[in-house]
Amino acid sequence: MREAYIVTSVRTPGCKMGKGAFKDTRPEDLLTFILNTAIEKTPNLSKKDVDDIMVGCCFPEAEQGLNIGRIVGQMAGFPVEVPGATINRFCSSGLEAICQAALRVMAGWAEITIGGGVESMSMVPMGGNMPRPHPEYTRTHPELYIAMGVTAENVAKKYEIPRQAQDEFAFHSHMKAAEARRKNLFTELIPTPAVRYVLSDNDTYKKETFIQDFDDGIREETSLDALAKLKSAFSVKGTVTAGNSSQTTDGAAASVIVSETKVKELDLKPIAKLKSYALVGCRPEEMGVGPKYAIPKLLKLAGLGISDIGVFEINEAFASQALYCVKALDIDIKKVNIHGGAIALGHPLGCTGAKLCSTLLANMIQTGSKYGIESMCIGGGMGAAALFELCE
C-alpha cells in the first residue's frame, strides 16, 4: 500500500457556542475559508488537482445539510468535477474524513484529497433539530441514547475518578492553552473571517465582517477554587460539571493529503505520514473509555509501544474519561494535550477530529516527535485513534 502524506493541516479558531465569535457565521463559510486557505498554503497545488473532498460533520442538517462536503467545494471555487462527501462518526467524524481521504491515496484510487471537518453548534444543536429515537429499542437499550454527560458520570463513578482530580485536569487544560496562546504556539490556527449583526440607528441590523484570530473559550482567569464551586451538571450528587467538561464550540479544519508521486511532482514538503487508524466499540453507557481500547489496538497494528509516542492529542470530552484513559494506559501526562484540550479549546463535534490532527502535527513539529497519536471517545460507545509519523 502506498504512503499518504499530509502536506498542509490548518484550522479556524474554536469559538463558544451561542455567544462566541462564530455564533452568526454559517458553517459553510467557515469551511469554505479553511479549504481555500489549505490550498493557498500548499505550493504548486491547484484546485483542479484535487480528486475528492471528505468532510466530517456530526449533525449534517439545516445549515450543515444537503451534503455540505459537496456544497462547500463548489462555494470554495473547486471545479465542478471535484466531488465531495459528508461523513458522520460523531466525535471522530473529522478524523474519519481524513483517514478515508488518506485511504483513497493509499489504495491508488486518488493522488490528492482533502479531509476535514466542520460543526456550528450555535446553529445546529447537539442531537439535531428533530431527534427521533426508535420507540421500542429505547426501552430495551436506553444506554444508546443517554446524554454524554451521564456517561461521563458513569466513568467517574465506576473507575473512581474523584471530583478534585477532574477539576485539576480541567484547570491545567486552561492554563496550558492560555500559555500557548500567549506564546503564539497554535501555529496551525488561521485568523478567520467572522460575521456579526449590529443594531444600527434606524433599528435594523447591519451585517459586519471581522477577523477572529484566537480560541475564545480559554479561561485564563479560572482557578481551582472557582472550578470547585460549580454544581454538578448531570447528576444531583455527581462530579461532572460545566467546568470539567468540554466546551461546545463552532469551527472548521482541513488537511491536504498527497501521494508520494505528487509530492515529488509538485515539489512539496510533507509534514507527516498517516500510518494507521484503529476503531473499537465499547459499552455505550461508558463511551468515554474508548481511547483506552483504541490506542492499544492502533499500537498493535503499528508494532509500537506507548513509550514510542512523543505526543498525544486525546480529546477532552470530559475530564473524567480523558484522565481515566491516560492513567489506564500509563501515558506520561506531560505528553498529553501539551497546549490544552477541549475543556479549554472546545469540542466542535464533527470538526474535532480534523482540528486535533492539525494541532497534533503542529505539536510534533514543535517537539521534534517522530510519532504522534490522536484519539477520542465517540458517542454511542466507540473509540478511535490514528498514528502519524513526522517527515524529516
Between CA 326 and CA 311 the distance in angstroms is: 12
* 3-state SS assignment for residue 174: helix
> Which position among 91, 99, 282, 325 bears the catalytic label?
91
347 as an active site residue: the answer is yes
CA atoms within 13 A on the CB side of 348: 38
91 as an active site residue: the answer is yes
Q: Where are the alpha helices (DSSP H) in the chain?
A: 27-40, 68-75, 93-106, 137-140, 148-158, 163-182, 224-228, 260-265, 290-302, 319-328, 342-345, 352-367
User: Ramachandran region of residue 95, left (φ > 0), alpha (ψ -120 to 50) or beta?
Assistant: alpha
Sign of dihedral through CA atoms 259, 260, 266, 272?
positive
**How many CB atoms are closer than 10 A to CB 80?**
7
> Which position among 172, 174, 339, 347 bears the catalytic label?
347
According to DSSP, the residues that pair with 318 across neighbouring strands are 245
377 as an active site residue: the answer is yes
Q: Are 192 and 324 in contact (CB under 8 A)?
A: no
Sign of dihedral through CA atoms 96, 101, 105, 108?
positive
Which residue carries 486535533 as its cell?
356
Between CA 160 and CA 144 the distance in angstroms is: 23
**Which of 359, 264, 368, 370 is CA-nearest to residue 5?**
264
Catalytic residue positions, numbered: 91, 347, 377
